[in-house]
Amino acid sequence: MGRKILIIDDEDDIRQVAALSLETVAGWEVVVANSGAQGLARAAEYKPDAILLDVMMPGMDGPTTFRELRKNPATAHIPVLLLTAKVQSTDQRRFADLGVQAVLFKPFDPLTLSTQIADVLGWK
């Protein structure tokens, strides 16, 4: 079954590598957004099966974007996985306390990214 993933990340390279990885390795449809605000609009418009959300973005950061997604009934149910380069245990706890499905770390392996996402979300 084809899944639809929204990638919200301000870094062009990360968006491109993640999108190519998920499209090529898993055959998923990928929608991208380069900011939190654009991500909120695309999430409401495209209703993805999951969202891969960067933590550190200018303007609206990942945690703020996540809270806004949860406020909107159209996007509140969509599972969110944070993508971060921050690997300190205090940061990990803070992110987990938000209520996200998982925290994935940069740099990620493009060959296993889809498997990581599917495992976390229970997709077979």
What per-residue confidence (pLDDT) applies to 1? Answer: 58
Q: Are 59 and 36 in contact (CB under 8 A)?
A: yes
- In the chain, pLDDT over 70 holds for what percent of residues? 98
pLDDT over 90 (residue 16): yes
**Domains identified in the chain and CATH numbers:** 4-121 (3.40.50.2300)
Helix (H, G, I), strand (E, B) or coil at 49: coil
Burial of residue 65, with CB atoms counted within 10 A of its CB: 0-12 exposed, 13-18 middle, 19 or more buried: buried
Residue 62's closest CA among 13, 121, 104? Answer: 104
Tokens of 55: 């933590």
What per-residue confidence (pLDDT) applies to 93? Answer: 74
